[in-house]
Structure 1
Amino acid sequence: MITMKHHHFLLVSLPIQSHINPTFRLATRLTRTGAQVTLATTISGLKTLPSISGMSYHFFPGGGADGKLTSIQELKFLGSINLKELLLTKAKEGQKVDLLIYGLSLPWVAEVARDLHVPSALFFFQSAASFSVVYHFFKSDGGVGNSNIDLTGSIKVPGLPLLRYSEIPSFLIPTHRYAYVFQEHIDTLEKQPNSFILINSFDGLEEESIKSLPDHINIFSVGPLSSGETEEPFVIDTIQDSDRETYLRWLDSKREKSVVYVSFGSLVKLQKNQKDEIFQGLIESGYPFLWVIRNQGEDDEESRRYTAEGGGLIVRWCSQVEVLNHVAVGCFVTHSGWNSTVESIVSGVPMVGYPQDADQKMNAKMVEEVWGNGVKAVADGEGVVGREEMKRCLTVVMGGGEITRNCEKLKSMAMEAMSEDGSSHRNLNRFFQTLKLVSE
């Protein structure tokens, strides 16, 4: 990898776990180039971050007394002022920022960077397919300003299968409260003669989506930002890992590829009837299961019942990378968030997708129809995945065959992409060269 010893990179992220986790992983990757790296977020986000050699932290205002985010508008107003002051102060101190990398929902960061003549890049930590849909959606006649979109219809995006509007990222629908933010992202990128986007993906996985974008959109896949090693990267979570010894000992007692791991991310909270259906499907399938239920609280009795009756294990937290790489795990029942999808690909574990929101439905579609490393659970008319459907999905993914072979192939491709001479390392070097931070 190119050495960036005399450069200073500033990364800006929202404190939401699905944002700050991949941003922290990217920041850690950049420290390995020898660069000085600063990660900026709100004070609530900084509370969970560890000390890393070569990395410093900065917090900007944008929340209440506890530092939590209250609105995108407040963050834009206060954050813009704070970020400008930070960039000017660093320059006066002889620590000029050479590159500013910003995450989703923060298009104003690029405006500040442009005003101060600092190069910037969007870190789009979802898939290249998702970015392609966002770009083509807002650049087409059926963009966010068109309230007459037929939500029962379909959209054709180059390099992707035909997508129903119900399958595209939900934040693109005109009535979504954050649709305007993604419109601003595209507008901001279009204002620049050359735009730069870093993607948490790899060429072998999403080559067609990357090729579908116009030449002035310089997109660089630098993932997967999950190595598959149990000790790396740092797992950022507000819940203590007091369950770690318990779940590792439990996993160690199970046969290879026999356990179903169930987790729906940090934000999804299932209704009781849906949890009951999943539980019954797990019981009737006969597979031992490890299930993460974060917001137990009043559901403690319910969780104890699941554990006692089902022979599974319920925990409030676990290191997902560690669990997915355990030899006992044979399947991942997931909400199909991109971070979880990438971690599952890197670990070679097949997925049962139960997508809820954002880009999750499209991720689940790609897993089932394009990459072939899992299936999507089909909900009934009330949006509930029944026990019979859960049993069907588990039978398919735990049965080996083509899905298992595809998982092994994708894992190998991911590992190769992140090798010293892999495509993602080459892309990161090419990114530095394109920005003229280093000579060709």
Structure 2
Amino acid sequence: MSSSPHALVFPYPAQGHVIPLMELSFRLLDRGFKVTFLNTDYNHERVVSAMKGKGSNQIRMASIPDGLGPEETRSDLGRLTESIAAVMPKPLENLIMEEKNKFTRFIADTNMPWAFAIAKKMAIRTVAFFPSAAGLLALFFNITKLIENGIIDENGLLKEETCQLSLGVNPVSSLHLPWNCFHDELARKAVFQTCFKTAEEFAEEIVICNSFEELEKPIFELYSPRIKPIGPLLATLRSDAASIGSFWSQERACITWLDNQLPKSVIYVAFGSFTVINHKQFHELALGLELTGRPFLWVVRPGFTEGTVDEDAYPLNFKERVLGRGHMVSWAPQQHVLQHPSIACFISHCGWNSTIEGVTNGVPFLSWPYFGDQFFDQDYICDVWKIGLGLVPDENGVIRREQIIAKVEELLGDEDIKSRSLALKGMAHKSVKEGGSSFENLNSFVDAMRGD
């Protein structure tokens, strides 16, 4: 075997999956690996464009088609999941065959169990990476038990209100099982089937994940060594701190704006790469931020508002009224934003990457989940770690400006939440330093990958 092992790294084609596996790739480079990072053709173009020539020349970027046309949306997860499972296996096999003397390891997202079958068929050792909370993977491993116990039926539909894996593990609302938190039936079915296949494919294997032992201790005690945390996987925890893998160009001028704000004064608002809200909700959020009287940095991603052009979605004269106090950007260097001393709190959709980034920087949350595992993550934030408060829609499904104002004030006045947030920050940083749990797990994982 080559003295420099070569890993082919393959994420599920979504922003929250690409970022942590790109970070893992940098950790592998630091430990003597060669890395080829495989995106879909569509996402490859977005990542390369967003890097603007500032990427790493150490990681080789490659791509294969996802089966969707250039004008088709990648936000329909049901359609995307079906397409990649049907179309990508053959191009992946061809890529491995063409370069079979180069790849010695295959590291891929558990959301694509079909990819592992291809690598194994071609005699490449595989490593499974789970991009969400370890507690969620534990739930997947127990889907059969949930069906047998009458919590869900064989299609994943609800039959009971809550489930609990074990004493000491926080009960989970059946409404918050990730496959039940989607807005269309195709996506719900596709996600449930993926979760079920993930459980089957990796039931007897070690799965690495972007978490750390102290964050989900009951889960790791139950599932050690099957689930092994190696996080937080953040660019800001590397020496060069260069973040690569974004689908949009990051507006770094917002960091200069933050430099001019008082410490612990700014509300940071960001909803990830999939969230879409309607015009009414957008107005309530905008007016809620304005009426807090506090400075805010708000990420308004292209396509964030439903049925309107984002520039036309703001309330009349809103931008003029908040000029200087409110700063809106289309995409932000989020890890660097959350690290900034001016940030007071994070209004978040609770995607796992955002959750880990907020935790690692000791930032309290106002949670506003949209779909999928985000409701599970909200339970962690509000009920288990107790480092945030939840925003609750009214009977019309709208989170009103009055609640936003009140919850911001309640959160920023809660010294216990701030203290718990800082304690988790300390644990996160300790875990990735030499001698820390994630540092040691990563080294043992890399040593195993170097073996025959």
With the length of structure 1 as denominator, give the TM-score of the two structures.
0.88
User: Could you tell me whether the CA contact under 8 Å between 1:14 and 1:45 is conserved in 2?
Assistant: no
**Secondary structure class of the residue paired with 1:379:** coil
Given the alignment of the two structures, is residue 395 of structure 1 paired with residue 409 of structure 2, yes or no?
Answer: yes
User: Could you tell me whether the CA contact under 8 Å between 1:160 and 1:209 is conserved in 2?
Assistant: yes
- Residue 181 of structure 1 is aligned with which of 194, 204, 222? 194
- Paired with 1:434 and 1:106, the residues of 2 have a C-alpha distance of 23
Residues 401-430 of structure 1 deviation map (CA, whole Å, 9 limit, x = unaligned): 111111111111111111122211211222
Determine the structure 1 residue equivalent to 2:30. 32
Structure 1 residues 186, 370: CA separation in 2 closer, same or farther (over 3 Å shift)? same
Given the alignment of the two structures, is residue 205 of structure 1 paired with residue 215 of structure 2, yes or no?
Answer: yes
Within 5 A, what are the aligned runs for 1:288-437?
Answer: 288-295=295-302, 298-303=309-314, 305-310=317-322, 311-434=325-448, 437=450
Determine the structure 1 residue equivalent to 2:256. 249
User: Could you tell me whether the CA contact under 8 Å between 2:268 and 2:346 is conserved in 1?
Assistant: yes
- Paired with 2:126 and 2:158, the residues of 1 have a C-alpha distance of 36
Given the alignment of the two structures, is residue 157 of structure 1 paired with residue 174 of structure 2, yes or no?
Answer: no
Residues 307-330 of structure 1 deviation map (CA, whole Å, 9 limit, x = unaligned): 322341221121111211111110
Amino acid corresponding to residue 161 of structure 1 in structure 2: N
**Secondary structure class of the residue paired with 1:130:** helix
Given the alignment of the two structures, is residue 228 of structure 1 paired with residue 236 of structure 2, yes or no?
Answer: yes
**Secondary structure class of the residue paired with 1:63:** coil
**Secondary structure class of the residue paired with 1:101:** strand
- Paired with 1:434 and 1:27, the residues of 2 have a C-alpha distance of 16
Identity rate, percent: 25
Decide which moves more: 227-236 or 342-351.
227-236
Determine the structure 2 residue equivalent to 1:106. 112
User: Could you tell me whether the CA contact under 8 Å between 2:108 and 2:128 is conserved in 1?
Assistant: yes
User: Could you tell me whether the CA contact under 8 Å between 2:157 and 2:180 is conserved in 1?
Assistant: no
Residues 214-258 of structure 1 deviation map (CA, whole Å, 9 limit, x = unaligned): x6x7221011011535962414334334x432x233322221111
**Secondary structure class of the residue paired with 1:203:** coil
Q: Which ranges of 4 or more aligned residues in structure 1 deviate by more than 4 Å? A: 67-70, 142-145, 171-175
- Paired with 1:198 and 1:171, the residues of 2 have a C-alpha distance of 25
- Residue 97 of structure 2 is aligned with which of 88, 100, 110? 88
Structure 1 residues 137, 40: CA separation in 2 closer, same or farther (over 3 Å shift)? same
Determine the structure 2 residue equivalent to 1:136. 142
State the Cα distance separating 1:294 from its structure 2 match.
1.2
User: Could you tell me whether the CA contact under 8 Å between 1:169 and 1:359 is conserved in 2?
Assistant: yes
- Paired with 1:327 and 1:212, the residues of 2 have a C-alpha distance of 37
Unaligned runs of 5+ in 1: none
State the Cα distance separating 1:67 from its structure 2 match.
9.2
State the Cα distance separating 1:5 from its structure 2 match.
5.3
State the Cα distance separating 1:375 from its structure 2 match.
1.2
State the Cα distance separating 1:145 from its structure 2 match.
5.4
**Secondary structure class of the residue paired with 2:127:** strand
Amino acid corresponding to residue 223 of structure 1 in structure 2: G
State the Cα distance separating 1:207 from its structure 2 match.
1.6
Decide which moves more: 48-57 or 344-353.
48-57
Amino acid corresponding to residue 369 of structure 1 in structure 2: D
- Paired with 2:382 and 2:144, the residues of 1 have a C-alpha distance of 26
**Secondary structure class of the residue paired with 1:368:** helix
CA RMSD of aligned residues (A): 2.7
- Paired with 1:148 and 1:7, the residues of 2 have a C-alpha distance of 40
State the Cα distance separating 1:144 from its structure 2 match.
6.8
Decide which moves more: 169-178 or 15-24.
169-178
- Residue 290 of structure 2 is aligned with which of 283, 295, 299? 283
State the Cα distance separating 1:367 from its structure 2 match.
0.8
- Paired with 1:172 and 1:314, the residues of 2 have a C-alpha distance of 29
Structure 1 residues 139, 32: CA separation in 2 closer, same or farther (over 3 Å shift)? farther
- Paired with 2:330 and 2:155, the residues of 1 have a C-alpha distance of 41
**Secondary structure class of the residue paired with 1:14:** coil
- Paired with 1:208 and 1:336, the residues of 2 have a C-alpha distance of 21
Structure 1 residues 340, 392: CA separation in 2 closer, same or farther (over 3 Å shift)? same
Residues 121-168 of structure 1 deviation map (CA, whole Å, 9 limit, x = unaligned): 221110111111222224432587525844561111234322111122
State the Cα distance separating 1:172 from its structure 2 match.
8.1
- Paired with 2:409 and 2:259, the residues of 1 have a C-alpha distance of 23
- Paired with 2:68 and 2:131, the residues of 1 have a C-alpha distance of 27
Amino acid corresponding to residue 205 of structure 2 in structure 1: S
User: Could you tell me whether the CA contact under 8 Å between 1:43 and 1:67 is conserved in 2?
Assistant: no
**Secondary structure class of the residue paired with 2:226:** strand
State the Cα distance separating 1:433 from its structure 2 match.
4.4
Determine the structure 1 residue equivalent to 2:226. 218
- Residue 72 of structure 1 is aligned with which of 81, 86, 111? 81
User: Could you tell me whether the CA contact under 8 Å between 1:377 and 1:390 is conserved in 2?
Assistant: yes
Amino acid corresponding to residue 87 of structure 1 in structure 2: I
Amino acid corresponding to residue 165 of structure 2 in structure 1: V
Unaligned runs of 5+ in 2: none
